[in-house]
Amino acid sequence: MALPKRRHSATRGRKRRTHWKVKAGGLSPCPQCKQPKLAHIVCPICGFYKGKQVIEIKVKEKKKKK
């Protein structure tokens, strides 16, 4: 395996790494509530995953003014 004869500068290494970007996760509509959610993850709005309710979502009640 070849070895570099001299050290690469930090700038040269950074130029090479400019294309290492993280892509945004794919959003898909939830079949139950139609809200956008990440694929293969439980819906944070309704709590369903693959047609089954996996977690129970508590609904916040509005406080009444006296």
Supply 15's token pair: 């130029």
> What is the 3-class SS of 2-52, one letter each residue?
CCCCCCCCHHHHHHHHHHCCCCCCCEEECCCCCCEEECCCCCCCCCEECCE
- How do residues 5-49 score in pLDDT, each as one tens digit? 999 999 999 999 999 998 888 899 999 999 999 999 999 999 999
Q: Is the pLDDT of residue 60 over 80?
A: no
What is the structure's pLDDT at 9?
A: 95
Residue 4 CA to its chain's centroid (Å): 38
Confidence (pLDDT) at 19:
92
Is the pLDDT score of 57 beyond 90?
no
pLDDT for 1 equals 80
